[in-house]
């Protein structure tokens, strides 16, 4: 019996040593994680081991806001009005974006856009004797965008805000504001105040960009390809700022199945963001990518120079955020070299080298969030073209998109991708 007690005591001592070793390993792993996530995992395992070994367990640590909330729902409503005079095109747009986070708060953005550019036809012949002809169209536009954002405490407050101010993101609302600004003294005298005054925004953003597109018919289909770039900044009330470069590419086709039109497409977006605090010190570098494959359909009708259409579509959207903490000196040096290389569009070898250094730092010390959304969309289009010696045309387009989070996972330094169970609507 004494031998059995000795063996059991020895086993207990070895088990306690094993528990201590596991605790040390987990503590090291916790040190590699951010925001206390590893500490929560370590505490849970410690409590389980303590119950098995019969030793006293420390009290559980308080719950911490370890990671940033996930965007669980996103709604985008956009209206645009475009006009064409021969080869010259002008456009104006308004967009309302509402993003609901897993913490229950909602960010509402009112954005404006102005575009100007041109479009030309490119005709060429194929085959022996030039029997087959194809005419492609190419266009280039420049754009200026701006917007204001507010963060509301919950969905009810966001709905009230949109009901009160959302008309400012519509073409009709912009027209009313334009008329109102032109008769300020008279309108003040008669008490005409069509829209409530907006409160001070939590964030302002502005940017300038350019876009190019190419369309070519091929039988019953029209092939489309486009690319655009946008350089801008976000300025916050606390004095911090984010400077960003956004690149978009898309390829797709419009397949005519009269009177139906099907429009499959593949779209990709990449955004590099560099954030500074109020003292202009680097805070973080974020590489944000979006990939979507969409399939939409539209019913269209045309008579004379008039046309109208309405359609809907759906897709799966994958978003990835790779974040590098710039409080770390090595991360800050890699990010600074990368941002400096972005300012030199001709130094491709340098840019490639510095991008590889940032990618390596993200793999070693960065955090990566990956999310998948279900996307639904609707569109309405109304346009007309008139030829009176010159070509005049215009089009009004309204689109609505809704995104709902399906899955979310995070990879912290030293760990594999783990599901974000906290990414649900609060």
The answer to whether residue 136 scores a pLDDT higher than 90 is no
Q: Which two tokens stand for residue 267?
A: 């779209």
- The reply to whether 335 and 231 lie within a common domain is yes
Cα 297 to Cα 258: distance, rounded to the nearest angstrom: 12
Please report the pLDDT score of residue 53 as a whole number: 57
The answer to whether residue 31 scores a pLDDT higher than 50 is no
- The reply to whether 10 and 122 lie within a common domain is no
Angle at 282 between CA 107 and CA 270, to 5 degrees: 55
Per the model's pLDDT, the better-predicted residue between 21 and 291 turns out to be: 291
Whether 63 maps to a domain, the answer reads no
- The reply to whether 141 and 230 lie within a common domain is yes
Do 420 and 67 meet the contact criterion of CB atoms below 8 Å apart? yes
Whether 179 maps to a domain, the answer reads yes
Do 332 and 291 meet the contact criterion of CB atoms below 8 Å apart? no
Whether 66 maps to a domain, the answer reads no
Whether 60 maps to a domain, the answer reads no
Does the N-terminal peptide bond of residue 259 adopt cis geometry, omega within 30 degrees of 0? yes
Q: Which two tokens stand for residue 271?
A: 């955004």
- The reply to whether 162 and 48 lie within a common domain is no
Q: Give pLDDT tens digits for 295-349.
A: 666 566 666 666 666 777 778 899 999 999 999 999 999 999 988 888 776 778 8
Please report the pLDDT score of residue 111 as a whole number: 92
The answer to whether residue 203 scores a pLDDT higher than 50 is yes
> Mean pLDDT across the stretch 181-195?
66
Whether 61 maps to a domain, the answer reads no
The answer to whether residue 187 scores a pLDDT higher than 90 is no
- The reply to whether 19 and 91 lie within a common domain is no
The answer to whether residue 2 scores a pLDDT higher than 70 is no
User: Rg of the Cα trace of the chain?
Assistant: 28
Question: Which CATH number characterizes residue 297's domain?
Answer: 2.40.128
Whether 45 maps to a domain, the answer reads yes
- The reply to whether 111 and 201 lie within a common domain is yes
- The reply to whether 38 and 117 lie within a common domain is no
- The reply to whether 256 and 130 lie within a common domain is yes
- The reply to whether 379 and 236 lie within a common domain is yes
Identify which of 321, 325, 324, 331 has the alpha carbon closest to the alpha carbon of residue 410. Answer: 321
Tell me how many domains the chain contains.
2
In this prediction the pTM is: 0.77
Q: Give pLDDT tens digits for 281-302.
A: 999 999 999 998 876 665 666 6
Range of the domain at 376: 71-419
- The reply to whether 267 and 184 lie within a common domain is yes
- The reply to whether 201 and 346 lie within a common domain is yes
Of the candidate ranges 26-40, 140-154, 234-248, the one whose mean pLDDT is the lowest: 26-40
Please report the pLDDT score of residue 167 as a whole number: 84
* pLDDT band, very low/low/confident/very high, at 189 (cuts 50, 70, 90): low
Cα 139 to Cα 211: distance, rounded to the nearest angstrom: 8
Whether 64 maps to a domain, the answer reads no
Q: Give pLDDT tens digits for 383-392.
A: 766 655 556 7
Please report the pLDDT score of residue 28 as a whole number: 47
Please report the pLDDT score of residue 277 as a whole number: 95
Per the model's pLDDT, the better-predicted residue between 253 and 162 turns out to be: 162
The runs of H, that is alpha helices, within 33-154 are 37-53
Please report the pLDDT score of residue 408 as a whole number: 93
Whether 164 maps to a domain, the answer reads yes
- The reply to whether 139 and 47 lie within a common domain is no
């Amino acid at each position: 019996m004494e031998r059995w007690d000795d063996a059991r005591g020895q086993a207990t001592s070895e088990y306690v040593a094993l528990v201590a070793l596991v605790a040390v390993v987990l503590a090291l792993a916790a040190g590699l994680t951010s925001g206390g996530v590893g500490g929560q995992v370590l505490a849970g395992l410690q409590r389980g081991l303590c119950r098995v070994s019969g030793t006293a367990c420390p009290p559980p640590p308080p719950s911490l806001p370890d990671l940033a909330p996930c965007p669980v729902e996103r709604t985008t409503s956009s209206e645009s009005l475009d006009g064409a005079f021969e080869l010259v095109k002008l456009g104006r747009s308004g967009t309302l974006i509402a993003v609901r986070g897993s913490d229950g708060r909602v960010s509402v953005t009112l954005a404006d856009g102005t575009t100007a550019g041109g479009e030309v036809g490119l005709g060429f012949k194929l085959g022996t004797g030039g029997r087959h002809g194809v005419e492609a169209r190419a266009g280039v536009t420049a754009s200026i965008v701006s917007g204001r954002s507010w963060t509301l405490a919950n969905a009810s407050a966001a709905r009230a805000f949109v009901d009160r101010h959302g008309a400012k993101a519509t073409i009709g609302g912009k027209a009313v504001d334009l008329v109102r600004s032109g008769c300020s003294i008279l309108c003040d005298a008669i008490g005409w105040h069509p829209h409530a005054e907006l409160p001070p925004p939590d964030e302002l953003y502005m940017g300038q960009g350019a876009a190019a597109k190419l369309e070519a018919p091929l039988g019953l289909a029209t092939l489309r390809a486009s690319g655009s770039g946008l350089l801008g900044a976000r300025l916050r009330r606390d004095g911090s700022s984010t400077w960003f470069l956004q690149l978009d590419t898309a390829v797709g086709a419009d397949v005519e199945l009269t009177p139906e039109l099907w429009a499959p497409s593949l779209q990709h977006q990449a955004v590099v963001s560099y954030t500074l605090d109020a003292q202009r010190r680097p805070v973080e570098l974020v590489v944000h990518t979006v990939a979507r494959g969409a399939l939409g359909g539209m019913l269209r009708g045309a008579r004379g120079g008039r046309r109208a259409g309405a359609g809907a579509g759906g897709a799966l959207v994958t978003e990835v955020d790779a974040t590098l903490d710039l409080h770390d000196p090595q991360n800050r040096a890699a990010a600074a070299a990368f941002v400096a290389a972005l300012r030199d569009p001709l130094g491709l070898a340098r840019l490639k080298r510095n991008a590889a250094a940032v990618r390596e730092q993200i793999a070693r010390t960065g955090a990566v969030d990956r999310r998948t959304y279900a996307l639904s969309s609707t569109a309405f289009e109304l346009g007309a073209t008139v030829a009176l010696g010159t070509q005049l045309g215009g089009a009004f387009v309204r689109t609505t998109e809704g995104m709902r989070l399906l899955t979310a996972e995070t990879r912290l330094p030293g760990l594999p991708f783990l599901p974000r169970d906290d990414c649900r609507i609060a």
